[in-house]
Amino acid sequence: MAAAQGIYTWDSRSSSYSEIYARVRSWWELLPDGSNPLFVLVREFEATGVTAGSFAVLAEQFSRRSGTAQAVRCDLELAKVQEYPAPWDGLHVCTVTVQVVDESNNSRNAYAAPVTVMINCPPAVTAPTGRCAMVGFYATAERIVY
Protein backbone atom coordinates (compact mmCIF):
# COMPACT_ATOMS: atom_id res chain seq x y z
CA MET A 1 0.00 0.00 0.00
CA ALA A 2 2.79 2.41 0.85
CA ALA A 3 4.34 1.99 -2.60
CA ALA A 4 1.02 2.67 -4.36
CA GLN A 5 0.49 5.78 -2.25
CA GLY A 6 4.06 6.92 -2.84
CA ILE A 7 3.81 6.57 -6.61
CA TYR A 8 0.94 9.06 -6.53
CA THR A 9 2.49 11.44 -3.99
CA TRP A 10 4.82 14.35 -4.82
CA ASP A 11 5.19 18.07 -4.22
CA SER A 12 6.76 20.38 -6.80
CA ARG A 13 7.33 22.99 -4.08
CA SER A 14 9.97 20.83 -2.39
CA SER A 15 11.20 18.34 -5.02
CA SER A 16 12.31 18.34 -8.64
CA TYR A 17 11.06 15.82 -11.19
CA SER A 18 14.44 14.06 -10.99
CA GLU A 19 14.17 13.72 -7.21
CA ILE A 20 10.63 12.35 -7.42
CA TYR A 21 11.61 9.91 -10.17
CA ALA A 22 14.71 8.83 -8.20
CA ARG A 23 12.59 8.15 -5.11
CA VAL A 24 10.26 5.84 -7.03
CA ARG A 25 13.21 4.28 -8.87
CA SER A 26 14.88 3.42 -5.55
CA TRP A 27 11.91 1.19 -4.61
CA TRP A 28 12.08 -0.78 -7.87
CA GLU A 29 14.39 -3.76 -7.48
CA LEU A 30 15.56 -5.18 -10.79
CA LEU A 31 15.16 -8.93 -11.12
CA PRO A 32 18.20 -10.91 -12.30
CA ASP A 33 16.35 -12.18 -15.37
CA GLY A 34 15.72 -8.63 -16.63
CA SER A 35 11.95 -9.17 -16.70
CA ASN A 36 11.22 -5.70 -15.27
CA PRO A 37 13.37 -3.28 -17.30
CA LEU A 38 13.74 0.39 -16.38
CA PHE A 39 11.88 1.64 -19.46
CA VAL A 40 8.75 0.01 -17.98
CA LEU A 41 9.26 2.03 -14.79
CA VAL A 42 9.49 5.26 -16.80
CA ARG A 43 6.41 4.45 -18.90
CA GLU A 44 4.30 3.48 -15.91
CA PHE A 45 5.45 6.42 -13.79
CA GLU A 46 4.54 8.79 -16.64
CA ALA A 47 1.16 7.04 -16.89
CA THR A 48 0.33 8.67 -13.54
CA GLY A 49 0.17 11.95 -15.48
CA VAL A 50 3.59 13.42 -14.77
CA THR A 51 6.41 13.68 -17.29
CA ALA A 52 9.65 15.63 -17.20
CA GLY A 53 8.09 18.13 -19.62
CA SER A 54 4.81 18.62 -17.79
CA PHE A 55 6.51 18.90 -14.41
CA ALA A 56 7.99 22.32 -15.28
CA VAL A 57 4.48 23.69 -15.88
CA LEU A 58 3.19 22.00 -12.72
CA ALA A 59 6.04 23.49 -10.69
CA GLU A 60 5.16 27.00 -11.92
CA GLN A 61 1.69 26.44 -10.43
CA PHE A 62 3.16 25.09 -7.14
CA SER A 63 1.39 21.80 -7.81
CA ARG A 64 1.38 18.84 -5.47
CA ARG A 65 -0.31 15.46 -5.35
CA SER A 66 -1.17 13.17 -2.48
CA GLY A 67 -2.35 9.58 -2.61
CA THR A 68 -4.16 7.56 0.03
CA ALA A 69 -4.90 3.85 -0.38
CA GLN A 70 -8.64 3.16 -0.22
CA ALA A 71 -8.89 -0.51 -1.18
CA VAL A 72 -6.41 -3.33 -1.75
CA ARG A 73 -6.99 -6.62 -3.54
CA CYS A 74 -4.18 -9.17 -3.73
CA ASP A 75 -3.37 -12.50 -5.36
CA LEU A 76 -6.38 -14.83 -5.30
CA GLU A 77 -8.84 -11.91 -5.07
CA LEU A 78 -7.72 -10.89 -8.57
CA ALA A 79 -9.31 -12.83 -11.42
CA LYS A 80 -6.34 -12.44 -13.76
CA VAL A 81 -3.95 -13.73 -11.10
CA GLN A 82 -6.22 -16.73 -10.56
CA GLU A 83 -6.07 -17.40 -14.32
CA TYR A 84 -2.32 -16.80 -14.55
CA PRO A 85 -0.69 -17.56 -11.19
CA ALA A 86 2.65 -16.02 -10.27
CA PRO A 87 5.57 -17.91 -11.83
CA TRP A 88 7.27 -18.43 -8.44
CA ASP A 89 6.44 -18.58 -4.72
CA GLY A 90 6.92 -15.20 -3.09
CA LEU A 91 5.85 -13.02 -6.02
CA HIS A 92 2.68 -11.20 -5.02
CA VAL A 93 0.40 -8.96 -7.08
CA CYS A 94 -1.89 -6.37 -5.52
CA THR A 95 -4.16 -3.80 -7.13
CA VAL A 96 -4.62 -0.76 -4.94
CA THR A 97 -7.28 1.90 -5.45
CA VAL A 98 -5.63 5.19 -4.52
CA GLN A 99 -7.63 8.31 -3.68
CA VAL A 100 -5.60 11.04 -5.36
CA VAL A 101 -5.80 14.76 -4.67
CA ASP A 102 -4.10 17.11 -7.14
CA GLU A 103 -3.67 20.65 -5.84
CA SER A 104 -2.10 23.88 -7.02
CA ASN A 105 -2.36 27.48 -5.90
CA ASN A 106 -5.62 27.90 -7.80
CA SER A 107 -7.24 24.48 -8.16
CA ARG A 108 -8.01 21.18 -6.47
CA ASN A 109 -9.07 17.93 -8.13
CA ALA A 110 -9.81 14.60 -6.42
CA TYR A 111 -10.22 11.23 -8.13
CA ALA A 112 -9.60 7.51 -7.67
CA ALA A 113 -6.79 5.78 -9.55
CA PRO A 114 -5.96 2.06 -9.60
CA VAL A 115 -2.34 0.93 -9.59
CA THR A 116 -1.06 -2.64 -9.62
CA VAL A 117 2.06 -3.30 -7.55
CA MET A 118 4.17 -6.47 -7.70
CA ILE A 119 6.35 -7.38 -4.76
CA ASN A 120 8.94 -10.10 -4.44
CA CYS A 121 9.14 -11.69 -0.98
CA PRO A 122 10.86 -14.66 0.63
CA PRO A 123 10.87 -17.60 -0.06
CA ALA A 124 11.67 -16.38 -3.60
CA VAL A 125 15.39 -16.87 -4.20
CA THR A 126 15.50 -13.46 -5.92
CA ALA A 127 13.94 -11.67 -2.90
CA PRO A 128 16.00 -9.71 -0.40
CA THR A 129 16.57 -11.51 2.92
CA GLY A 130 13.82 -10.94 5.46
CA ARG A 131 11.79 -8.40 3.50
CA CYS A 132 9.88 -7.73 0.30
CA ALA A 133 10.86 -5.45 -2.58
CA MET A 134 8.77 -3.82 -5.29
CA VAL A 135 9.71 -5.27 -8.66
CA GLY A 136 7.03 -3.64 -10.78
CA PHE A 137 3.97 -1.47 -10.89
CA TYR A 138 1.39 -0.66 -13.52
CA ALA A 139 -0.63 2.53 -13.80
CA THR A 140 -1.72 2.21 -17.44
CA ALA A 141 -5.27 0.88 -17.70
CA GLU A 142 -4.46 -2.05 -19.99
CA ARG A 143 -1.80 -3.35 -17.56
CA ILE A 144 -3.71 -2.99 -14.28
CA VAL A 145 -4.64 -6.40 -12.86
CA TYR A 146 -8.26 -6.91 -11.81
What letter represents residue 24's amino acid?
Answer: V
What's the mean pLDDT in 38-53? 94
User: Residue 15 has what pLDDT?
Assistant: 97
pLDDT in tens, 112-143: 999 999 999 999 999 999 999 999 999 999 99
Q: What pLDDT is stored for residue 3 in this prediction?
A: 92
Across the range 2-12, mean pLDDT stands at 95
pLDDT at 32: 86
Residue 57 has pLDDT above 90, yes or no: yes
Q: Which domains, and CATH codes, for the chain?
A: 2-143 (3.10.450)
